[in-house]
A and B are shown apart, each in its own frame.
Chain A
Amino acid sequence: MGYPHKPHPKETVVLSKHFGEADARTYKGWVKRGGYEMLAQALTLEPARVIDVVKESGLRGRGGAGFPTGLKWSFMPKEKKKPHYLCVNADESEPGTFKDREIMRWTPHALLEGAAIAAHAIQAEVAYIYIRGEFTEPWAVMERAVAEATAAGVFGAIKLYLHRGAGAYICGEETALMNSIEGKRGNPRIKPPFPAAAGVFGMPTTINNVETLAAVPLILKKGAAWYKGLSLSSPKSTGTKLFSVCGHVQQPGNYEVTMGFPLKDLLYDLCGGIRPGRTLKACIPGGSSVPILNREETESCLLDYEGVVEKGSMLGSGGVIVFDDSTDMVYQIMRLARFYAHESCAQCTQCREGTAWTTKILERILAGQGKTADLDLLLDLADNMTGKTICVLSDSCAAPVVSGIKKFKQEFEDYIAGRRKPVMVA
């Protein structure tokens, strides 16, 4: 299967430069493209030096939280008293997000090289790459890549292992992922202790997203200043970012643009705009866990960490879900809530019970049996589910509900008042 599109002129192809080139997947092909040079160089550098370069580049976590990567690495103990671990979060389970999948499918060695450099920087001897269970093709590609690169001896003393998830959304949460690696139920852990103090197997651990690590060799190669210079906007958001666009656009797919790129251009230029005869209604800019933007917000939003926050949402994982004017927002929000209710790990009361209750209320509104008080109840429930639990799954369920009711209240009221034909949801 080839890669679906040639780069658009407005894209800045850095990470995705070799997407679609079958040869780039092989060790030889990757070396031909200059791969593993930076790893060889990094292994001769002091770990602190590598961390400094990454800090200087302004690289921030691409998994969702946007935490500065170099700073995260620097939290690891300088003086090594116990084994250190690197975990690579390749669980990519956030609905609407499919960028890491493409990195692993097309440029597995970029990830491996970045992971090995990171492992060196944090003085880890072992890196676990935790791959989403449903990713069958990326798994096969990664397996081969690890075998080839290991056979070539490029990793030195660092060992890289692949670990396959079993299909739980929550295992993308960093501490749940660690429990899962340990063979335990994938429940998020209470923090503190943070992973840098006690992570996988209770040892100092750093966990990074696939896209974050894939950028590291390029930063070393071309320099921190180059990476910083890619930004169009805020100096706090640097480099390029892959956006996975899905929903009602003409050409959905992964697009790599620099930080600060206008969301409007992403949708209307790169993705070919909304389907003919339709107009944009709403957009979820950073994976299903972030608040929904309405049309005005979407069209004026700049794609960087600060720009999306300014519009009341978050950059998150860069999973852009587009809704045109044919969309039933109440139904969409119910689908999201149902997803979170299904995936809640059941530890925290607010999440276990709150996600399911939220879903029931939304289903009932759709069925035409809602009451006006249900909207206040949903908002109150969402308040209860926000900022009170171990991880942010319940916050993620609440976010689209709150923003949805705030921005598309009329649609909820139409169902409640019987102005809209009820939808039976199974």
Chain B
Amino acid sequence: MPDELVNLTIDGVPVSVPKGTLVIEAAKQAGVLVPHYCYHPGLPVAGVCRMCLVDIEKAPKLQIACATQVAEGMVVRTQSPQAKSGRMGVLELLLINHPLDCPICDQAGECELQDFTFQEGRPATRYSPDYAKRFNPVEDFGPDVLYVPNRCILCTRCVRFMEDVAQEPVLNVSERGDRAYIGIHSDGRLDHPWAGNVVDLCPVGSLLSKDFLHKARAWELDKAASICTGCSQGCNITLDTRENVVVRVRPRPNLEVNRYFICDHGRMNYRWMNRGDRIEAPLVRRGNELHATDWDEVFALVASRLRGAGGTAVALVSPKASTEALYFARELFRGLEWRGAFQMVMGEDAPLAGVPNLALRAERAPNGRGAELLGYSRDYAAAVAAAETASVVLVLDEPDIAVRTAGALIYVGTVLPEGARDAQAVLPIANVAEEDGTFVNRDGRVQRYFQAKAAPGMARPAWWVLSELVATLSNGGGGHIGTAAEAFDRLATSVEAFRGLSYQELGFAGAPAAAVPA
């Protein structure tokens, strides 16, 4: 049964929302962002910052939009003189003890206190400069979290996250009145595997990531929607880059997958994206040496090896490769006796207690499910053994290879590991931050990731490299693949599990694979 709808007006815009919706959420539907600090859709309502004061017709006084449920016929005004003056008053009070050290604060540029003050605060304070501001020294809360109490506005998002979402209540509000600050349990550390979320939740620069400390100003960052490669959960993330270098990973809300959060393992899992020792040109074997060449030569060489191959072909692939790359790696051997496998690195599960079905998963790669749907096996050892007698062995970006083969070794990868130096051909590819593509998470959800930075040298997305090889083999039959969208759509028309999906419609939130075997 559909939810009962309630009709109301917000700043003159009529909206219909399910019964029980909070005014602050209903306002978003009317295109109105009510300024707020303590409210966060992923946390229990606290109603303490009082920033979201709005005028509701027939109410005797201003109401907070975050704790008021909609009612039929309600008329909400966020811009009435009373509401604006109420919020201006809150902003003035929040700033009297705030240091205004924006020039050295990491939050500057993405600070909600800056934004709302700019939007509707007073141009100048009435707090005398003779009065001392509250001072408490910076505290080390945990492996990646610093607390700068002077900037704190006591919204308690961090306290509520640790208490209700992580369910490890190590933070509290200590002291009373204007002496209050966020306290940490005397025996506690902010070292919960999901603790880093408090930094994102903090609306000001009070909780800081040590990893990101003074790395970049917010306005220097470019942002790209991506998918975390840290495990099989498939958390939606944003990759922040500065001058083509990934400097930060932050969660991107997806209510179906990770809500508003990511774990610290995923948050820290980005440095490899900036590796400098990359393969920058296709390499072909001439005698005992690998020589740089162009794409035409390497494609021709690999195609000739494959055409002449009899017997078995083996593909050893990385579960971090895109679904599209895995598809074309499979297509390459169409007609040959084929065995494909991937190696899954395992770790320990670390669930986020307060969110159902959200954990750092033991399987530490993003696309094991995608590889399985395309016919790759988890029996990596058997495939490595079979490689010894295979006529062709294709390795797709698996740096841990220790493969010995009598046949031709084709290495498609981002970096050149020792074990790949015997390859007949080496084809340089982009990493996840440098290409568009999709992963299939453990629940069978197909999700797109977007390019965040440029690939080095001649490196190209693996789906392009492999699809070009397929095209070369068939002398151009089937046409060339120019974009990740074309690659995915090719896959979706030919593999049952992906049938009916379109790259376009996957959008930023993804969609379940059509037929996911249990």
Chain A residues proximal to chain B, CB less than 8 Å: 168, 185, 190, 341-350, 352-357, 360, 364, 369, 377, 383-384, 387-390
Known: A352-B178, A388-B61. A346 touches B86 (CB 8 A): no
> With an 8 A cutoff between CB atoms, is B126 at the interface?
yes
Report whether B126 and A390 are in contact in the complex, using a CB–CB cutoff of 8 Å: no
Report whether A356 and B45 are in contact in the complex, using a CB–CB cutoff of 8 Å: no
List the 7 closest A-B pairs by CB distance, nearest first.
A346-B180, A384-B89, A356-B178, A353-B93, A190-B47, A344-B177, A347-B48
> With an 8 A cutoff between CB atoms, is B102 at the interface?
no
Sample of 19 more A-B contacts, CB < 8 Å, known A345-B176, A349-B48, A388-B62: A190-B64, A344-B177, A346-B173, A346-B175, A346-B178, A347-B48, A347-B156, A349-B90, A349-B93, A349-B153, A356-B178, A357-B93, A357-B96, A357-B127, A360-B128, A384-B86, A384-B89, A384-B90, A387-B61
Least CB distance from A222 to B in Å reads 38
Report whether B173 and A384 are in contact in the complex, using a CB–CB cutoff of 8 Å: no
Please report the C-alpha to C-alpha distance between residue A350 and residue B94 in the assembled complex, in whole angstroms.
Answer: 8
- How many residues belonging to B are interface residues under a CB distance threshold of 8 Å? 36
> With an 8 A cutoff between CB atoms, is B362 at the interface?
no
> With an 8 A cutoff between CB atoms, is B118 at the interface?
no
Most buried by B among A168, A353, A390: A353
Closest to B92 in A: A384
Please report the C-alpha to C-alpha distance between residue A390 and residue B46 in the assembled complex, in whole angstroms.
Answer: 10
> Which residues of B, 148-162, contact A by the 8 Å Cβ criterion?
153-154, 156
Residues of B within 8 A of A346 (CB): 154, 173, 175-180
- What is the 8 Å Cβ interface bit string for chain B, positions 67-80, against chain A (1 contact, 0 not)? 10000000000000
Residues of A within 8 A of B49 (CB): 348-349
Least CB distance from B47 to A in Å reads 4
Residues of A within 8 A of B316 (CB): none
Known: A185-B173, A354-B93. A348 touches B178 (CB 8 A): no
Report whether A344 and B176 are in contact in the complex, using a CB–CB cutoff of 8 Å: yes
Most buried by A among B51, B67, B175: B67
Please report the C-alpha to C-alpha distance between residue A76 and residue B278 in the assembled complex, in whole angstroms.
Answer: 71
Residues of B within 8 A of A388 (CB): 50, 53, 61-62, 86, 89
Least CB distance from B55 to A in Å reads 12
Please report the C-alpha to C-alpha distance between residue A352 and residue B89 in the assembled complex, in whole angstroms.
Answer: 13
Residues of B within 8 A of A352 (CB): 93, 154, 177-178, 180
Report whether A349 and B96 are in contact in the complex, using a CB–CB cutoff of 8 Å: no
Report whether B176 and A342 are in contact in the complex, using a CB–CB cutoff of 8 Å: yes
Most buried by B among A346, A360, A377: A346
6 contacts between A and B (CB under 8 A): A347-B48, A350-B93, A353-B96, A356-B178, A360-B128, A384-B86
- What is the 8 Å Cβ interface bit string for chain B, positions 21-59, against chain A (1 contact, 0 not)? 000000000000000000000000111111101000000
Report whether B50 and A389 are in contact in the complex, using a CB–CB cutoff of 8 Å: yes
Residues of B within 8 A of A364 (CB): 128, 130
> With an 8 A cutoff between CB atoms, is B97 at the interface?
yes
Report whether A350 and B172 are in contact in the complex, using a CB–CB cutoff of 8 Å: no
Report whether A349 and B94 are in contact in the complex, using a CB–CB cutoff of 8 Å: yes
Please report the C-alpha to C-alpha distance between residue A345 and residue B89 in the assembled complex, in whole angstroms.
Answer: 19
Closest to A342 in B: B177
> With an 8 A cutoff between CB atoms, is B272 at the interface?
no
Residues of B within 8 A of A360 (CB): 128, 131
Residues of A within 8 A of B127 (CB): 357
Least CB distance from A124 to B in Å reads 27
Least CB distance from B248 to A in Å reads 29
| Set B48, B53, B97: member contacting A353, Cβ < 8 A | B97
Least CB distance from A91 to B in Å reads 16
Residues of A within 8 A of B173 (CB): 185, 346-347
Please report the C-alpha to C-alpha distance between residue A350 and residue B178 in the assembled complex, in whole angstroms.
Answer: 10
Residues of B within 8 A of A345 (CB): 176
Report whether B177 and A190 are in contact in the complex, using a CB–CB cutoff of 8 Å: no
Residues of A within 8 A of B92 (CB): 384
Known: A341-B178, A342-B176. A390 touches B94 (CB 8 A): no
Least CB distance from B126 to A in Å reads 6
Least CB distance from B35 to A in Å reads 12
> Which residues of B, 137-185, contact A by the 8 Å Cβ criterion?
153-154, 156, 172-173, 175-180
Please report the C-alpha to C-alpha distance between residue A353 and residue B46 in the assembled complex, in whole angstroms.
Answer: 18
Please report the C-alpha to C-alpha distance between residue A369 and residue B130 in the assembled complex, in whole angstroms.
Answer: 11
Report whether A190 and B67 are in contact in the complex, using a CB–CB cutoff of 8 Å: yes
Least CB distance from A259 to B in Å reads 27
Residues of A within 8 A of B156 (CB): 347
Closest to A384 in B: B89
Report whether A185 and B172 are in contact in the complex, using a CB–CB cutoff of 8 Å: yes
Residues of A within 8 A of B176 (CB): 168, 342-346
Report whether B177 and A390 are in contact in the complex, using a CB–CB cutoff of 8 Å: no
Please report the C-alpha to C-alpha distance between residue A344 and residue B96 in the assembled complex, in whole angstroms.
Answer: 17
Residues of B within 8 A of A349 (CB): 48-51, 90, 93-94, 153-154
Residues of A within 8 A of B131 (CB): 357, 360
Please report the C-alpha to C-alpha distance between residue A195 and residue B464 in the assembled complex, in whole angstroms.
Answer: 64
Least CB distance from A422 to B in Å reads 15
Closest to B61 in A: A387
Residues of A within 8 A of B50 (CB): 348-350, 388-389
Residues of A within 8 A of B46 (CB): 190, 347
Closest to B69 in A: A192
Please report the C-alpha to C-alpha distance between residue A349 and residue B93 in the assembled complex, in whole angstroms.
Answer: 7
| Set A185, A353, A369, A383: member contacting B94, Cβ < 8 A | A353
| Set A185, A377, A383, A387: member contacting B126, Cβ < 8 A | A377
Please report the C-alpha to C-alpha distance between residue A185 and residue B47 in the assembled complex, in whole angstroms.
Answer: 16
Most buried by B among A343, A344, A349, A360: A349
Least CB distance from A383 to B in Å reads 8
Closest to A169 in B: B176
| Set B64, B86, B130, B177: member contacting A356, Cβ < 8 A | B177
Known: A349-B153, A353-B93, A357-B96. A390 touches B47 (CB 8 A): yes
Most buried by A among B48, B131, B156: B48
Least CB distance from A361 to B in Å reads 8
Report whether A353 and B178 are in contact in the complex, using a CB–CB cutoff of 8 Å: yes
Residues of B within 8 A of A348 (CB): 48-50
Least CB distance from A263 to B in Å reads 29
Closest to A357 in B: B96
Please report the C-alpha to C-alpha distance between residue A422 and residue B86 in the assembled complex, in whole angstroms.
Answer: 34
Report whether A350 and B47 are in contact in the complex, using a CB–CB cutoff of 8 Å: no
Residues of B within 8 A of A341 (CB): 177-178
